[in-house]
Amino acid sequence: MSSFERVRAQVHRFLGEEMFARSSGPVAVRQLVELRTQVISLYALLSVNACALAFTHFGLAPAWLTLVCPAVFVSICAARALQWWRMRPATFSEAQAERHLRLTTALALVFAVSFVGWAIALGVHGGPYEQGHVAIFIAITVIGCIFCLTHLPLAAFGVTVIVTVAFLIHCLTSRNGVFIAIALNTTFVTVVMVRILANNFRAFITLMRAQFEAQRLAEENARLALSDSLTGLPNRRAFFSELEVLTEGEPPFALAIFDLDRFKPINDTYGHKAGDRVLQETGRRLAGFAGSGVSVARLGGDEFGALIRPSSEGDDGAAVCARICEALRAPIRLGETWVTAGCSAGLALYPAAGRDAAALFDRADYALYHSKLNQRGHTTMFSQEHENAIRTERAIEAALHSPDLVREIEVQVQPILDLRTNRVVMVEGLARWTHPTLGRIAPDRFIAAAERCGAIHRLTTTLLRKALADAARLPPGIGLSFNLSSHDLASPETVISIMEIVRASGFDPRRLTLELTETALMRDFERACDAITLLRALGIQIALDDFGTGYSSLSYVHRLPLDKVKIDRSFMADLHAPRGERIVATILDFCRNLDLPCIVEGVETEGQLAILRRLGCRSVQGYLIGRPMRMTALLQRLDEIEAGAVEAPPAPRLIA
């Protein structure tokens, strides 16, 4: 290692590597911001000191030294100070900041050579006072430069070396003991000042790095907070944040919600890992539609969203949704297996469907619900018809919480006939609601509304009390069948209330059958099993309603302690066809083999009844046997049958 390299290494160790590191990246921008006010002060300092030094030497030195040089220096300093004052470093790119720092360093070195050369040139003129002023000028100027260039240490160090070395050589060659002492003293002070500058700059760099790292972590956390970890798409929070911004403006746009049609069967059949793979591939395909006019996000589960702005190609929201649905219908490879998830979409237009984010999203979700129900695999656009339906449903939900509900709602009964004895052995309690302003409301509408708005517990308990009160008037040989909602078994509160109501009614629990749908069991199978065990312990019988319509009905018959099943009315439509008859025969044989009584619903014609008799069916229910009616009307008809005033059903029917 050469002597020069050894000296340089020692200087680097003394001052620190940061002192000589090249300014780059965001640090350069921050340095430039900090330098702005300091450099303006530096130019002011140089101008004032130069004018003072020129004044004391005026008349003693040539005019070009006392007038021309100071005028040039002050003009350049003023021009540079004005440039710095107008500069807005915070708006600079990293490359621009680096260029300005390099230019400032170069100019600082040029200024150092110029000013120290001018001062030394003045020092040969005048007496000891004027020469002392030169020494003071150089000393205070170099110290001022060190302070003002704290955030540009390379320039500060260069200026210090140039000025101090030049001044030291000048004083040593003068052989004046006072000037030599001043030069040595100034040199010592500047060395200490440079060391302090280096320490301060090192602390500055450490602070900047900590701030940049904190900013990077904050940005990363913000990115993670707004991203879905599985698909990499923006998440629900990011989606709604952008939606809020869009609804504050005027330009129209569309909000679309996509839901995978067959995700649950895929997830249940192939496992969660396969389900994640389907979601990842769905996210990848959706990301292909993202651009300046389309934003996509994963909203949760197998639900995705898109914000679609008008494009120059003229594509509207419906066209984009159609292309997305088509893309998501393409098969997805899972190892050696190919699966097709498919999707349905709901679309709402701003501002026609709603002017705030929540309303617009709710309407798109409502349109998606209609797609899943009626146009699976396609897009449904929210319309005025849907708006009217929403208003009606909201009115129904409000009426469900009204204190008048108990008075307005009633239970009608439909008879169930034993074909062997030709007698009514059971009645099914069916809810009927006539509202003063909404009129007659279909049971499927108000039950679904009650489930949505949390009124199902009140509805179930109210109807059960009414049904049991009416059933107390039935002859001892006739039982009551009552339907439970899919939410009832999942609610321990509702199950306990049912048991208390049955006990309080005085009605024999063994005459009560509670009908459960497969949907109720699928909601929470384990909790449903516990509820069924409690109810059967009281003596209540359990029936599986709509048997044969669910893909896992056979599984529930095998796994649950059921007392009977009810064959869904949909099988009656094709009963006259050979294939339809064979299907019903198979179900009846299945029930007989399990010693499980079954009731066939939806019997409406004599032909259907004849076929069911031939197949050995025991119990039937339907309009042929009797339509739903009030308990008073049923009891009257039963009395008439007992008295022989009319024939037993189904000829003539209990009620036309």
511 backbone dihedrals φ, ψ, rounded to 5°:
-95, 0
Q: Is residue 396 part of a domain?
A: no
Q: Which residues pair with 600 in a beta bridge?
A: 567, 620
- Please enumerate in sequence order all residues whose Cβ is within 8 A of that of 433, keeping only pairs 6 or more positions apart, or say none: 408, 409, 410, 440, 441, 443, 446
The answer to whether residue 205 is domain-embedded is yes
Query: Does 510 lie in the same domain as 617?
Result: yes
Whole-number pLDDT of residue 633: 93
Of 170, 108, 175, 173, nearest to 135 (Cα)?
170
pLDDT at residue 656 in the model? 38
Indicate whether 227 belongs to any domain: no
> What dihedral do alpha carbons 44, 45, 49, 50 form, nearest 10°?
-50
Express the helix, strand and coil content of the chain in percent, nearest 5 each: 60, 15, 25
pLDDT digit string, tens, across residues 356-384: 999 999 999 999 988 988 888 899 999 88
One domain, residues 336 and 242: yes
Pair (211, 277) in one structural domain: no
Residues 212 and 270 in one domain: no
440 C-beta neighbours (distance < 10 Å), count: 8
Residues 214 and 242 in one domain: no
Per DSSP, the residues of 196-232 read HHHHHHHHHHHHHHHHHHHHHHHHHHHHHHTB-TTT-
Per-residue pLDDT at 195: 76
Give domain status of residue 402, yes or no. no
Distance CA 326, CA 330 (A): 7
Range of the domain at 322: 236-382
pLDDT, residue 9, reads 47
Q: What is the pLDDT of residue 463?
A: 96
Question: Is 418 contained in some domain?
Answer: no
Helix (H, G, I), strand (E, B) or coil at 650: coil
Q: Which two tokens stand for residue 53?
A: 């030094």
Last residue of some domain: 175, 196, 220? 220
Residue pair 551/580 in contact by the 8 Å Cβ criterion = no
- pLDDT value for 25: 55
How is residue 138 written in tokens? 């150089």
Find out whether 186 and 138 touch, Cβ atoms under 8 Å: yes
Examine the domain organization and report whether 587 and 628 are in the same domain.
Answer: yes
Asked if residue 231 belongs to a domain, the reply is no
> Cα dihedral angle (601, 494, 411, 397), rounded to 10 degrees?
-100
What's residue 326's pLDDT?
92
Spans of the chain below 70 pLDDT = 1-25, 222-224, 312-315, 519, 523, 549-556, 644-656
Task: Tell whether omega for the bond before 89 is within 30 degrees of 0, i.e. cis.
Answer: no
Tell me: do 446 and 554 sit in the same domain. yes
> Domain of 448: which CATH number?
3.20.20.450
Other Cβ atoms within 10 Å of 510 Cβ, number = 11
Radius of gyration (C-alpha) of the chain in whole angstroms: 45
Pairing type for strands 379-381 and 409-418 reads unpaired
DSSP state of 474: S
User: Is 433 in contact with 409 (CB distance < 8 Å)?
Assistant: yes
| Total domains, the chain | 3
Give a yes or no: residue 370 inside a domain.
yes
Residues 31 and 100 in one domain: yes
Question: Quick one: 41 and 76 in the same domain?
Answer: yes
Same domain, 195 and 122: yes
Q: What is the largest CA-CA distance in the chain?
A: 149
CB 152 within 8 A of CB 31: yes
Q: Among 363, 382, 401, which residue terminates a domain?
A: 382
146 shares its domain with 194 = yes
Which residue, among 231, 239, 157, has the nearest Cα to 200 in the 3D structure? 157
Residue 644's pLDDT is what?
Answer: 66
Contacts of 4 by beta carbon, 8 Å cutoff, 6+ apart? none
Residue indicated by tokens 């499927």:
444
Q: What is the CATH number of the domain that holds 373?
A: 3.30.70.270
**Residue 650 falls inside a structural domain:** no
Tokens found for residue 531: 């509820």
- Whether residues 51 and 170 share a domain: the answer is yes
